[in-house]
């Protein structure tokens, strides 16, 4: 394949790349999808021509060869030992397995074991349009709504679906904070917003947007601290496994009640994380980098009353 070189090369500079419309037309054929599926299920790869044809169960060798050639170079690679996937071919099969192309299930709402960070009522989960959402049954506060492929519902109980969703949301935001779009791997830009729009019930929030595909993620500022080592250690010291605890059970991850904007130019944002008799205070900049970290004794009820 002919490719351009240099730091500013883009997909539009590729001389041999297939136009998106042509690429989709290539795989819009039952036989070709069957070939990709047979290649996926093969115990070992590369797979020979005869083995692939046998798995697809096509008697006409010439006709099978025609369809295989349509896939070759862009979705399948031909080697001396047989046929192997190219990355595009793997993505097609994974998208089919995930149900992205052909499944449109709905689920819920169903009750979770968690309570609302705003009012304490029961939280419910529901699934529609390939999005899973967690929301309050009383005040309707949104605790997060994110893409979740239909395949993630297969062979899982509701509890297991919520566990998988929790880990997926953490992964999505971790990639976004690192500047990588979880959808297309393009460059993700991060911005802190402080306004009266009250989106997601937040006046202070983090906006992630991909410069390439325009995919967006929004969250409370605290969500960016879920994998921060000192924050994880602080919770471990209090007997809490932060790595598995649902993010919607952590008020500082879904609310800005514990968030204070110290300044906007430059950004200085303080997140207070209370646990038992301690508070971990974390100060972040506009890039969500940690500037300061303090462990403090939590004020007693009497002190709170005096301050009030």
DSSP 239-307: T--TTTS-GGG-HHHH-STTEEEEEETTEEEEEEEEETTEEEEEEE-TT--EEEEEEEEPPPHHHHHHH
- Please check the confidence at residue 305 and state whether its pLDDT lies above 60: no
In this structure, are 22 and 113 located in the same domain?
no
Please tell me the predicted confidence (pLDDT) of residue 80: 92
In this structure, are 230 and 130 located in the same domain?
no
**What pLDDT band is residue 94 in, cutting at 50, 70 and 90?**
confident
Q: Is 281 a domain residue?
A: yes
In this structure, are 167 and 230 located in the same domain?
no
Query: Strands (DSSP E) along 49-130, which ranges?
Result: 76-79, 82-85, 107-115, 122-128
In this structure, are 35 and 113 located in the same domain?
no
Domain boundary among 66, 98, 130: 98
In the block, tokens 């990355």 appear at 87
Please tell me the predicted confidence (pLDDT) of residue 47: 94
- Rounded Cα gap, residues 227 and 232, in angstroms: 7
The answer, as to whether pTM is greater than 0.75, is no
Domain boundary among 98, 122, 144: 98
Record the tokens describing residue 86, joined without a space.
Answer: 């190219």
Mean pLDDT of 279-285: 97
Closest CA to 210 of 235, 190, 234, 239: 190
In this structure, are 184 and 114 located in the same domain?
yes
What is the percent of the chain where pLDDT is above 90?
Answer: 68
Count of H-run helices and E-run strands, the chain? 9, 13
**What pLDDT band is residue 150 in, cutting at 50, 70 and 90?**
confident
CATH number at residue 56: 1.10.10.10
- Look over the chain and give the mean of its residue pLDDT values, rounded to a whole number: 87
- Please check the confidence at residue 201 and state whether its pLDDT lies above 50: yes
In the block, tokens 């999505």 appear at 172
**What pLDDT band is residue 162 in, cutting at 50, 70 and 90?**
very high
- Please check the confidence at residue 304 and state whether its pLDDT lies above 80: no
* Residue range(s) defining the domain that contains residue 255: 224-307
Mean pLDDT of 6-18: 49
In this structure, are 118 and 212 located in the same domain?
yes
Q: Is 2 a domain residue?
A: no
Give Cα 56 distance to the centre of its chain: 34
Taking every pair of Cα atoms in the chain, the longest distance, rounded to a whole number of angstroms, is: 87
**What pLDDT band is residue 105 in, cutting at 50, 70 and 90?**
confident
CA dist list (Å): 167 to 51, 170, 220: 39, 5, 17
- Rounded Cα gap, residues 151 and 133, in angstroms: 16
In this structure, are 216 and 229 located in the same domain?
no
- Rounded Cα gap, residues 258 and 245, in angstroms: 19
Mean pLDDT of 81-98: 82
Q: How big is the CA angle at 151 (ends 146 and 34), to the nearest 5 degrees?
A: 135
Please tell me what DSSP assigns to residue 41. Answer: H
- Please check the confidence at residue 3 and state whether its pLDDT lies above 50: no
């Amino acid at each position: 394949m002919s490719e351009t070189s240099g730091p500013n090369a883009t997909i539009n500079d590729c001389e041999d790349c297939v136009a998106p419309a042509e690429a989709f037309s290539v795989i819009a054929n039952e036989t070709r999808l069957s070939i990709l599926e047979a290649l996926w299920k093969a115990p070992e790869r590369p797979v020979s021509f005869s083995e692939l044809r046998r798995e697809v169960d096509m008697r006409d060798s010439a006709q099978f060869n025609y369809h295989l050639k349509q896939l070759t170079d862009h979705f399948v690679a031909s080697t001396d030992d047989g046929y192997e996937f190219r990355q595009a071919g793997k993505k097609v099969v994974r998208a089919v397995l995930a149900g992205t192309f052909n499944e449109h299930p709905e689920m819920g709402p169903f009750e979770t074991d968690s309570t609302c960070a705003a009012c304490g009522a029961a939280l419910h989960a529901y699934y529609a349009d390939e999005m899973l959402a967690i929301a309050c049954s009383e005040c309707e506060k949104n605790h997060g709504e994110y893409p979740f492929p239909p395949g993630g519902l297969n062979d899982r109980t509701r509890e297991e679906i919520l566990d998988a969703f929790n880990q997926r949301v953490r992964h999505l935001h971790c990639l976004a904070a690192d500047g990588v779009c979880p959808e297309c791997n393009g460059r993700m830009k991060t911005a802190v917003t402080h306004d009266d729009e009250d989106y997601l019930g937040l006046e202070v929030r983090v906006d992630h947007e991909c410069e390439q595909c325009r995919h967006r993620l929004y969250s409370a500022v605290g969500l960016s601290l879920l994998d921060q080592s000192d924050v994880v250690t602080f919770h471990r010291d209090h007997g809490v496994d932060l790595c598995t605890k649902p993010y919607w059970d952590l008020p500082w991850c879904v609310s800005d009640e514990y968030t204070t904007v110290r300044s906007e130019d430059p950004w200085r944002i303080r997140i207070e994380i209370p646990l038992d008799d301690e508070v971990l205070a974390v100060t972040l900049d506009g890039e969500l980098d940690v500037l300061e970290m303090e462990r403090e004794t939590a004020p007693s009820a009497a002190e709170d009353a005096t301050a009030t």
